[in-house]
Amino acid sequence: MYFLRRGWAELKNEVFVLPSRTAVLAWALALLVLPYVYGDPYVLRIVTLTCLFAMFAASWDLLAGYTGQVNFGHALFFGAGAYASALVSLKFGVTPWVTVWIGALVATGFGVVVGYLCLRLRGSYLSLATLAFPLIALGLLFAFPDFSGGELGVSGLRRLATTVTANYYVAVLAMLAVVFGLWLIADSKFGLVLHAIRDDEVAARASGINTPRYKLTVFAVSAFAAGLAGALFAHYIRVAGPSTLETALSFQVVIWGIFGGVATIYGPVAAVFILYPLTEWLGSFKAFGELRLLIFAVIVLLVLLFMPRGLSPWVRDRIETACPRCKQRNRAWRSACRLCGAALQSLRYRPR
Amino acid sequence: MMRSFLMAVALLAAATTAQGQGTVKFAILGPMAFVQGENHWAGAEMARDEINKAGGIAVGGRKMQVELIRADTNEVQSVPDATNATERVISRDKADFLIGGFRSEAVLAMQEIAMDSKKIFLGAGAADARLGENVEKNYDRYKYWFRVTPTKSPDLFRSLVAILGSIGDQMRQSLKKDQPKVAIVAEKTVWTEPIMKALQATLPKMKMEVVGTWQPSAVATDVTAELSAIERAGADIVFTLLSGPVGISLGRQMGERNMKAVAFGINVEGQKDEFWAATAGKGNFVSTLDTYSEVEMTPKTIPFVRAFKERYKKAPTYTAATYDAIMVLKAAIEQAGTTDADKLVPVLEKMEHVGTAATASWDKRHDLIWEVGKTAGIGVQWQDGKKVPFWPPQVKGMQPFKMPAR
């Protein structure tokens, strides 16, 4: 009884006080109950894939949004996780419950290597250099087709679970854990350092921060999350192919990140949950299904035109406001700050 | 008044339900924004209209209409999109049968979803052998997969070699050369690599000399450097493995140079009706492996090709064999008297179906059994603005293969 009351008090004081947190809780609960409310296998499939891509997008945001290491070749980590898990599972008969972690660790290794090689690069030079890595990986895969399956990749993989619902829960729980974990990292002192590196690396170093170590760590953490997403993806669709390393996937994650709002973690996740099902839904219309990519591009452009910081910061700024005195966030319709009591309506402060 | 209204509503509802039960649903899966998907759909439309016009499919003494479900897999750009489309037609649209697919990596993933749901999936586009190997490795799971077109990739190679052998014989006779010289021109892409390696090993056994291998880009607009090297090497045959626009460049520039060598192999651009105009009329003698032409491969080929051209104003490509896939299923359903997948599989395994593209029968991997004149495809050559079929020569309507004057 004590724990229930304490839990309710926490919810009331920490979650329900802000619309954004309430929305996140509602979204997580909706994901958890979806199979019981609407168990359509097609819908569950779309949401499963959405969860896996949301993990991937969040991992990109930690690297590009928080640290400013804008990676144009993030598919490398996704593909490395997919291929490593698939090959170990298939060639050694290891259960995918183990190999997905191996895939994530191999991707982490790739993250460290890429991070090390790109340590001295910044801005567009870094982005262009990272773009090359998945192409190199593709070249290597095609050079050793007997090992990698060549153009067709590795197929006939085992699923993590046998039923549609169980696979759905694997993806949802993994996504919630990874996204929450990344958000905790981003919200910690470590995350503050990442902000500092992004905003002014020289100043950060002058303050005594070992920036190369932080950059390498964030490359590794981001690659781990992307690799785990890739490994889960491969075992879900039962194929790990060159499409997991394609440039299109690398750019897709950049679009999700910018559309949702960088340096937020939840922004790219929201973007995936909007854009991926939307594109799929558009594809189901016979009349204009084949124009879905064009419609998708128009929607993205319009959102970026009117919401240059991305969708989720724009929405958040309209439903919440920050106190000008203590900087705590409040509901937009409150007249006084929930913590310090400072007036809000007349001095609405929107942090940029 | 109220009673009449309720009765009318009930009758309408009953009629709608009866109509819903009276169809067999075929999902056509293909990249609909691409020529392969267009042909998937066009072939299926022709089959649907023909069957429905004739009264439908007889299922256990009851006539059922054909209903098509168009599913854009977008597989050229996204494998997950292809899997989503497959799941949608199965669980949402309640398709009875799946037909189509093109990109092998995507079809492997689509195959898994179809097999999970125990749906018969007739492949009409992907050539990779692994799709059939799955049937042999795990029959109980993958037995619902059958390939209608094309033959698996090793058999495509057999067809190429068979046609090349026939061209080589003609050269030996006309040029009085024991060992014709072959130049291999393969675009620099992954799919050409295994074929190139196999060719280099096979051609010497066929008493042909490989004078070199050239690998232009798939989108090259100028291959004069390669062609002048080929001329200097004294090649008699230019063996092409080209799927991109470079096929047009090669055809045009061979014509401009009045080359004595003749091009044969895979030239996807050369299969299209627009090839002659694209080469500005210079693509004479370019030849390629193909599927459809106005030639009597089977008694159904010519009427189908003519009807297709009349309806869509262009010739069908190999993925239009969705027509055959639907007809195969119609025959199997009528024979078994059911649409139950488990009962149809043994019927399909024993069937020999005379289609428009091939006379099809299936091996233990549910791959087409390769046979010249039945499933091996045809050789076509551009002769004075017309795409002329020349191989296999025993088929009625084939015309002689021509070579440039020397």
At residue B1, the pLDDT reads: 46
Note whether residue A266 is domain-resident. Answer: no
Of A45, A243, A284, the CB nearest to B105: A243
Q: Which residue of B has its CA nearest to A289?
A: B72
Query: Is any Cβ of chain A less than 8 angstroms from the Cβ of B91?
Result: yes
**Mode of pairing for the β-strands spanning B23-30 and B97-100:** parallel
Claim to verify: residue B101 and residue B228 sit in the same structural domain: no
Note whether B368 and B377 are within 8 A (CB): no
Q: Which residues of B touch A290 (CB under 8 A)?
A: 32-33, 72
- Domain range for B183: 155-290+377-391
Helix axes A123-143, A247-260, angle to 10 degrees: 140
Note whether residue A196 is domain-resident. Answer: yes
Of B80, B88, B137, the CB nearest to A284: B88
CATH number at residue B168: 3.40.50.2300
Note whether residue A236 is domain-resident. Answer: yes
Q: What is the pLDDT averaged over residues A338-351?
A: 70
Interface contact A152-B190, CB threshold 8 A? no
**Which of B190, B192, B195 is the mutation pick for testing A, counting most A CBs within 10 A?**
B190
Interface contact B85-A155, CB threshold 8 A? no
Claim to verify: residue B255 and residue B318 sit in the same structural domain: no
Note whether residue A99 is domain-resident. Answer: yes
Non-local (6+) Cβ contacts of B243 within 8 A are B187, B189, B191, B218, B266, B268
At residue B20, the pLDDT reads: 46
At residue B405, the pLDDT reads: 81
* Residue type (1 letter), B281: G
Which strands, in side-by-side order, build the sheet including B386-391? B287-290, B378-383, B386-391
Residue pLDDT, tens place only, B259-315: 999 999 999 899 888 999 999 999 999 999 999 999 999 999 999 999 999 999 999
User: Percentage of chain B with pLDDT > 90?
Assistant: 78
Note whether residue A336 is domain-resident. Answer: no
At residue A26, the pLDDT reads: 96
Count up the domains in chain A and report the number: 1
Claim to verify: residue B138 and residue B163 sit in the same structural domain: no
Q: Which residue of B has its CA nearest to A234?
A: B109
Q: Is residue B97 very low, low, confident or very high in pLDDT (cuts 50, 70, 90)? A: very high
Q: Which residues of A touch B74 (CB under 8 A)?
A: 283, 292
Claim to verify: residue B56 and residue B122 sit in the same structural domain: yes
Note whether residue B398 is domain-resident. Answer: no
From CA B190, how far away is CA B218, in angstroms rounded? 11
Claim to verify: residue B164 and residue B304 sit in the same structural domain: no
**Which of A90, A165, A290 is the mutation pick for testing B, counting most B CBs within 10 A?**
A290
From CA B192, how far away is CA A254, in angstroms rounded? 33
Residue pLDDT, tens place only, A320-340: 998 988 888 899 888 899 888
At residue B13, the pLDDT reads: 47
Claim to verify: residue B245 and residue B383 sit in the same structural domain: yes
Q: What's the whole-number average pLDDT of chain A?
A: 92
Interface contact B81-A283, CB threshold 8 A? yes
Claim to verify: residue B159 and residue B221 sit in the same structural domain: yes
Count up the domains in chain B and report the number: 2
Claim to verify: residue B90 and residue B55 sit in the same structural domain: yes
Claim to verify: residue B321 and residue B201 sit in the same structural domain: no
> What's the gap in Å between the CA of B364 and the closest CA on chain A?
19
Residue A318 has pLDDT above 80, yes or no: yes
Note whether residue A215 is domain-resident. Answer: yes
Region for residue A156 given its phi and psi (left: phi exceeds 0; alpha: psi -120 to 50; beta: otherwise):
left
Region for residue B109 given its phi and psi (left: phi exceeds 0; alpha: psi -120 to 50; beta: otherwise):
alpha
Q: Is the ipTM of this complex over 0.90?
A: no
> SS3 helix, strand, coil % of chain A, rounded to 5?
75, 5, 25
- The CA R_g of chain B, rounded to the nearest whole Å, is 23
Residue A351 has pLDDT above 90, yes or no: no
Query: Is any Cβ of chain A less than 8 angstroms from the Cβ of B81?
Result: yes
Note whether residue A185 is domain-resident. Answer: yes
Interface contact B108-A239, CB threshold 8 A? yes
Claim to verify: residue B302 and residue B285 sit in the same structural domain: no
Q: Which residue of B has its CA nearest to A235?
A: B109
Interface contact B81-A280, CB threshold 8 A? yes
Q: What's the whole-number average pLDDT of chain B?
A: 91
Claim to verify: residue B386 and residue B250 sit in the same structural domain: yes
Note whether residue B209 is domain-resident. Answer: yes
